[in-house]
Amino acid sequence: MPSKESQTNFALMRERILATQDGKEYWRSLEELADTDEFQEFLAREYPQQAEEWHDAVGRRTFLKLMGASLALAGLSNCTYQPPELIVPYVRQPEAEVPGKPLYFATAMTLSGVATGLLAKSNEGRPTKLEGNPDHPGSRGATDHFAQASLLTLYDPDRSQTLTFREEIRPWTEFLANLRTALDEQRGKQGAGLRFLTETVTSPTLAAQLKEILTAFPQAKWHQYEPAGRGLVNAGAQLAFGQPVNTIYRFDQARRILAIDSDFLSCVAGSLPYATGFIGGRRADESRDMNRLYAVETTPTNTGAKADHRLRLRPSEIENFTRAVAAALGVNMGSAGQAQAAGAHANWVAALARDLLAARGASIVIPGDEQSPVVHALAHAMNDALGNVGKTVIYTEPIEANPVDSIQSLRELVGDIDAGRVEMLVIVGGNPVYTTPADLKLDLNRLSKVKLRVHLSLYKDETSEICHWHIPEAHYLESWSDARAYDGTVTIIQPLIEPLYNGKTAHELLAAFSDQFDRKSYQIVRDYWMGQMGGKGVVSGERQAGSTQASNPSGDFEERWRKALHDGVVPNTAAATKTVSLKADWASQPPVPAPQPSTLEIVFRADPTIYDGRFANNGWLQELPKPLTKLTWDNAALVSPKTARDLGINNEMGSKGGNIFVDAVDLKYRDRVVRAPVWIMPGQPDGTVTVHLGYGRTRAGRAGTSTAAKPIGFNAYAIRTSDAPWFGTGVELHKTGTQYQLAATQTHFNMENRKVVRTKSLVDYLKESEGEHREAMEHDEPGYNDSMYPPYDYKNQGLGYAWGMAIDLNNCVGCNACIVACQSENNIPVVGKEQVIRSREMHWLRVDAYFGGADANNPEGPYFQPVPCMHCEQAPCEPVCPVHATVHSTEGTNDMVYNRCVGTRYCSNNCPYKVRRFNFLLYQDWTTPTYQLMRNPEVTVRSRGVMEKCTYCIQRIQLAKIESEKEGRSVRDGDIVTACQAVCPTQAIVFGNINDQESQVAKLKAGKRNYSLLEDLNTQPRTTYLAELRNPNPEIPERA
């Protein structure tokens, strides 16, 4: 550990900010905002090659000795032969299979039951990459980071591989025999002791199977528990309408949006199409207008970052704030719910209400899934009052097979277990032992009252540990199943590969409870759909959208089944719209009492990268910097800078390499205590602590298991209770005096206060764009294209291509899907927390988050900026390479030749954008056989000692060029889609030929918002940025 003197004291930094009141325009971390000497020293030392010097146990002499020996041995390494290789062709080649050409199959991934349609790429039968399915309403061609990273879970060697009974390996048949015996016992009691616990079920087939079982065992019960997911949406609908409904928002139609603690851009069902629609309404270049987003929230989220106005409120203030807005909109809340004074935010609320009322029928009020039922009901009433229902807000039948309040369902189950009424508990998926709230914990004490416990799951986790039977679950890429999208559309989930580890699906497990106990999931799903679309020729069932599609009654099932598999959607299965009206007594709940300003409040949220803990063993997600904190491998308790000062808590950044040590505190909530590191989060409301769920797993796998020696976050479930699952008051925070080291990437690859992010208000932009204004010309240092060498003629070289990229900051919502997509496409390794601390993360693409303004407590933004390799025309990395390992191609890409690279790292030293990554160690796993299956065969797997960086997905460029040349044409615009571009829900990244004036990228670059990063260096980057626009309400003062 570095000495105390060399560390930055956070309190000192704060004092300095207060003293000068002259903060920077944009900053990524509090350390940067404070701009202390230590931070400057850190910047100067930032290059990772110095990272090894300060806490390397190996001394200089040992190092020299080892170096000498390895130099001597290095010569020998060239003497290896390529080992002889075998070619193993098919015996009977499948019809569509062409060796060397990937096939794509439509399937879907579910998260909390909600499906995202995918196209899975299969190289000779191995799924190697996932793309969004353009025909699927929940994807529209885009995917989120969870879907991208799910590929790693498929190949995870830590996944459960064997069926066990009390940790002993048993065959499936023995399980079946045992189960039949137990079932026969239950049959006499009509299944009175039988309980099923599932996650949210949207699968029509699974629901039908459960229904069938419940008919055979009328006394048995089906419970659903989902730790994160849809939160209190159902309870809210129940309060407002007296029945569960599914709400779909049409952001593409909305001009004014109020998000009440809702992160609709990243973490709710339908967030991908929502992001697409939302950004679609912000393309000011075409429409000369933009929608306006007001976000009222506690924990800073991506939605708050993109908001034109963000108001930070404590969780207890949100309901009263919502009431005030509702009152201003003229919603009649009756006598019980009369609004309180809007208080400090009266002007804000009045301006907001005027703006919303001016956009009647084209506005949206969206409540957060985690908000209380009252807030949901108020939002429904506001949408009703604004005339949005049927226009921007659509009510449909629920998509869940059996919509329940998940906490209530769990409470009933726990009640039954405690009363000894449960003899056999079947846990289908999920990890309830870990994820259940502390007061309803399904721990060993409680579960030992259940005689027979069966658990189906992907991993041998905390729940499997205390269940008698553990059944390995098949990954969705190995399974036949089905699931509904956010609007109800069904996708048949088809497998890409035989189960790697003999996994079983939920369908196969449930089939064991029926007479046909050994049916395969293919048969089960197919038979179900044969019943649905077979004879009658249409999809029947109570949730059919209208009855207009009753065509082709004698149609052939096989044909329709194949079409549904091919398209990835079953036609006409979207949930039917529903007309609902507010219950008479919806507003009968009395308002919550005003918050006590002195008490601390706590907020629980699903983690932005590992969700509720299910992705804890996924290295791609663990190492993915969280969108706003940029933390990796850990969660932390987030507090605002002011609260941190009040509590005397510091973040200490070592001046050497940016080792970040933070205070660890004891979080005491309702007599339960957990020890957590504190992260000071700009934009967090004062007096609140946010903790993310999903960490502190005790049995997750090699990457995710947290031990005392090597902690991976802390378990926030330990202090979560069922009566306040999302927020509560009265948390206490006690300093422990110990420190904890976090790996945050926000200080890595710092741009040293150069103005790399440009933002503008819509009004200014429109005014300027009338004239000859160009973003590039505005700034002091002029861009100049002078060079001693004659310019290279890209037009008349080769085929006349010049590849380039435009990144529209106005579109980027900071969701991070591009980072994982790049990792998956380009075989980028995971390095681990200790290496991330040394600034050695390997992501070719990083997304920087720049806060704005001088107020650390209530900053603007942050503004997101994805930074890949710029592919500079005058690339500073090229002339410094002694071995020509990085050179320019005739199409303007900056190529990296791994085999020439000797690892001098001069190039990364000379790169002003800090986008080059060096393999300090052998990060890539060369030995695990399953990982070998996963890799993209089109991209070299790099070894130790080699520099690497973004290639513009050169493999995709070459493929498109080869295909076009075989057809005797030029590459068309849109033929080449880089991996990051393909996943982006908002088309923030556009790639193409800039020589072609008609290409989308050339048009974007010709636009007035276009600018280059560090233009004054005359690197002439091929990747350029489009400035971000904001559309603030002129009636609201800038920092409300």
Partner 1 sequence: MPQIFHHSTNFLAKLSIFGAIFILLAAMWVLAEINRSSYNTGQYIERQQPVQFSHKHHVGDDGLDCRYCHTSVETSASAGIPPTQTCMNCHSQIWADSPYLEPVRESWRTGRPIEWTRVHDLPDYAYFNHSIHVAKGVGCSTCHGRIDEMPAVYQASSLQMEWCLSCHRNPEKFVRPKEEVFNMQWPQENHTEQEIARGRDLVKSYHIQDAQTLTSCSTCHR
Nearest distance from C-beta of residue 901 to partner 1, angstroms: 11
Closest Cα to residue 156, out of 933, 825, 931? 931
Return the number of the residue (99 or 420) whose C-beta is nearest partner 1. 99
Return the number of the residue (673 or 939) whose C-beta is nearest partner 1. 939
Please report the sign of the dihedral spanned by the C-alpha atoms of residue 773, residue 775, residue 780, residue 784. Answer: negative
φ, ψ dihedrals at 861, nearest 5°: 70, -140
Give the Å distances, CA to CA, from 686 to 360, 666, 846: 34, 18, 30
Nearest distance from C-beta of residue 791 to partner 1, angstroms: 15
By CB under 8 A, name the binding residues for partner 1. Answer: 82, 84-93, 98-101, 797-799, 887, 889-891, 893, 895, 897-899, 938-941, 951, 954-955, 957-958, 962, 965-966, 968
3-state SS string over 910-955? Answer: CCCCCCCEECCCCCCCCCCHHHHHHCCCCCCCCCCCCEECCCCCHH
**Contact indicator for 803, 977 with CB cutoff of 8 Å:** no
Nearest distance from C-beta of residue 129 to partner 1, angstroms: 15
Q: Give CA 551 to chain center in angstroms.
A: 40
Return the number of the residue (101 or 451) whose C-beta is nearest partner 1. 101
**Residue 293: in which H helix or E strand, if any?**
strand 292-297
Return the number of the residue (575 or 957) whose C-beta is nearest partner 1. 957
φ, ψ dihedrals at 967, nearest 5°: -90, 0
3-state secondary structure of 318: helix
Nearest distance from C-beta of residue 75 to partner 1, angstroms: 12
Size (the chain), residues: 1040
As a dihedral over the C-alpha atoms of residue 859, residue 863, residue 868, residue 869, rounded to 10 degrees, the angle is: -80
Return the number of the residue (444 or 962) whose C-beta is nearest partner 1. 962
Return the number of the residue (91 or 709) whose C-beta is nearest partner 1. 91
**Contact indicator for 372, 240 with CB cutoff of 8 Å:** no
Nearest distance from C-beta of residue 744 to partner 1, angstroms: 32
Nearest distance from C-beta of residue 881 to partner 1, angstroms: 12
- Alpha-carbon distance 277 to 269, whole Å? 14
3-state secondary structure of 554: coil
Q: Give residue 621's identity as a one-letter amino acid code.
A: L
Nearest distance from C-beta of residue 173 to partner 1, angstroms: 25
Nearest distance from C-beta of residue 907 to partner 1, angstroms: 14
Return the number of the residue (87 or 584) whose C-beta is nearest partner 1. 87
DSSP 848-910: EEEEESS-SSS-EEEEEEEE----BTT-TTTTT-TT--EEE-TTS-EEE-TTT-----HHHHT
**Contact indicator for 697, 433 with CB cutoff of 8 Å:** no
Nearest distance from C-beta of residue 818 to partner 1, angstroms: 19
Nearest distance from C-beta of residue 960 to partner 1, angstroms: 12
Nearest distance from C-beta of residue 941 to partner 1, angstroms: 8
Q: Give residue 322's identity as a one-letter amino acid code.
A: T
Closest Cα to residue 978, out of 866, 839, 829? 866
Return the number of the residue (721 or 904) whose C-beta is nearest partner 1. 904
Return the number of the residue (577 or 955) whose C-beta is nearest partner 1. 955
Nearest distance from C-beta of residue 895 to partner 1, angstroms: 4
Closest Cα to residue 507, out of 207, 220, 218? 207
Nearest distance from C-beta of residue 957 to partner 1, angstroms: 8
Nearest distance from C-beta of residue 284 to partner 1, angstroms: 36
Closest Cα to residue 226, out of 606, 505, 546, 496? 606
3-state secondary structure of 251: helix
- Alpha-carbon distance 659 to 1, whole Å? 9
φ, ψ dihedrals at 59, nearest 5°: -80, 175
Return the number of the residue (661 or 952) whose C-beta is nearest partner 1. 952
Return the number of the residue (102 or 277) whose C-beta is nearest partner 1. 102
Q: Supply the DSSP symbol for 473.
A: B
Contacts of 794 (CB under 8 A, 6+ apart): 800, 801, 802, 890, 891, 892, 995
Long-range contact list for 753-756, CB < 8 A, 24+ apart? 753/24, 753/27, 753/32, 753/35, 754/1014, 755/25, 755/26, 755/779, 756/26, 756/848, 756/850, 756/865, 756/1013, 756/1014
**Contact indicator for 519, 508 with CB cutoff of 8 Å:** yes
Nearest distance from C-beta of residue 892 to partner 1, angstroms: 10
Q: Using DSSP bridges, classify how beta strands 168-169 and 194-198 pair: parallel, antiparallel or unpaired.
A: unpaired
Residue given tokens 């704005």 in the structure block? 852
Nearest distance from C-beta of residue 120 to partner 1, angstroms: 20
Q: Using DSSP bridges, classify how beta strands 221-224 and 194-198 pair: parallel, antiparallel or unpaired.
A: parallel
Nearest distance from C-beta of residue 898 to partner 1, angstroms: 6
Give the Å distances, CA to CA, from 236 to 245, 383, 721, 728: 9, 14, 19, 18
Nearest distance from C-beta of residue 952 to partner 1, angstroms: 9
| Angle made by CA atoms 552, 558, 561, in degrees to the nearest 5 | 85
Tokens matching residue 151: 């590929």
Return the number of the residue (745 or 940) whose C-beta is nearest partner 1. 940
Return the number of the residue (21 or 80) whose C-beta is nearest partner 1. 80
User: What are the residue ranges of helices labelled H in 618-680?
Assistant: 619-623, 641-647
